[in-house]
Amino acid sequence: MSDTFVQLTDLTLTYGKNIAVPALNLSIREGELIALLGPSGCGKTTTMRAIAGLLAPASGSIHIDGRDVTRLAANKRGIGLVFQSYALFPHLNAFENVAFGLRLQKLPEAEIKSRTEQGMATVGLSGFEGRKPAEMSGGQQQRLALARSLVMRPKVLLLDEPLSNLDARLRLEMRTELQRVQKETGVTMVFVTHDQAEALALADRIVLMQQGKIEQLGTPAQLYAQPETAFAAEFMGFENIFKVAGDSVQNDHGSLPLGYRPDSAILAWRPDGVRVGQGPHQGRVTACSFAGGHREYVIDSALGPVKANADIALPEAQIGDSLSFDLPQATARPLRA
Ligand SMILES: Nc1ncnc2c1ncn2[C@@H]1O[C@H](COP(=O)(O)OP(=O)(O)OP(=O)(O)O)[C@@H](O)[C@H]1O
Ligand SMILES: [Mg+2]
């Protein structure tokens, strides 16, 4: 592992009297793709704006590549920005959009040309040089915005929900593209999303945030399999989360005996971790939907609604039917309070 490349130390970010981010500590390695994940308003954009130099921290420091940039102007930090609205210049063709920043730097024409062509090739847009943004698809415009940032050779590239304007198919395409570009250029990327699937698919490590604080930080595999809190578990698709009391689980609706005694405060199951069609518990089916390889049931039980996926090979239960289920120890994820 390479050393820390971006270091946020006790970074506190405020808007007037409101503290959006209190004392954030985060180390990012060179060449890493970090995803900031979390619900609306948790401080993702605020953190990005501080790294970029668009928001002065109330306290704390930001180091990039060994240098304290806390008080450095945005345009001196070597940071590229790609935002949700990619703000291309509509009157300029693709080439000139990408070349724009290089022209501002007054580089020699030959260098502008070669770097622009190389940047467009990196994002798979060779041949599109003469097109205006309006003559390009959403995904192509997004890639153009990426090329425009990449040609500036930023030390760090910040992407704030860059894919949220794209339809589902283009999002997938761009995800792969972003990963490829990142591996090819080795640029350190911080990527903001509130889509957990996107974070899992793209990131080397995920920073899950809640109310300006890091709830959990880890690889996609760690966050997916080992969320530590109910908040993290919920974000990672554990739809059944219950408090433990002795050998039962309980919530506001009631309680169910487990037949084993967990040693954690909270237990969580994904819908596919709940066994359907057999087991000690009974409930009534209140919703059933076909989802390709499985059926998704909502079972009204002593715990209220339990979400359970059943293999398509099992006999189908209808709404109103009684259905037995189990909350097995093997698929339970222990969480701390
Ligand atoms: N310009 C501003 N003035 C005052 N408060 C702001 C400003 N921008 C953001 N905030 C507040 O700071 C907090 C963090 O906002 P931020 O934009 O960082 O959230 P976010 O995680 O990017 O959310 P989203 O997913 O909706 O983009 C929120 O409570 C928000 O209301
Ligand atoms: Mg935001």
pLDDT tens digit string along 108-149?
Answer: 999 999 999 999 988 889 999 999 999 998 888 888 998 998
CA distances from 113 to 91, 95, 140, 223, 266 (A): 19, 9, 20, 43, 59
Output the pTM of the full model.
0.89
Summarised one tens digit per residue, pLDDT across range 68-110 is: 999 999 989 999 988 866 689 999 999 999 999 999 989 999 9
Residue with CA closest to ligand 1 atom 1: 15
Mutate to test the pocket of ligand 1, among 12, 14, 44, 208 (most ligand atoms within 8 A of CB): 44
- The hierarchical CATH code for the domain 4-227 is 3.40.50.300
The domain covering 238-335 belongs, at the CATH homologous superfamily level, to Nucleic acid-binding proteins (2.40.50.140)
Residue 318 to residues 79, 289, 295, 296, Cα–Cα distance (Å): 56, 10, 11, 12
Give pLDDT, residue 1: 45
The neighbourhood of ligand 2, an ion, using CB within 5 A, equals: 45
Torsion sign across C-alpha atoms 135, 136, 138, 141: negative
Distance 135 CA to ligand 2 centre (A): 28
**64: β partners:** 6, 67
Q: Where are the domains of the chain?
A: 4-227, 238-335
Q: What angle do CA 53, 57, 58 make, to 5 degrees?
A: 160
Q: What is the pLDDT of residues 187-227, one digit of tens each?
A: 999 999 988 999 999 999 999 999 999 999 999 999 999 99
Q: 275: which strand partners? A: 326
CB contact at 8 A, 28 and 51: no
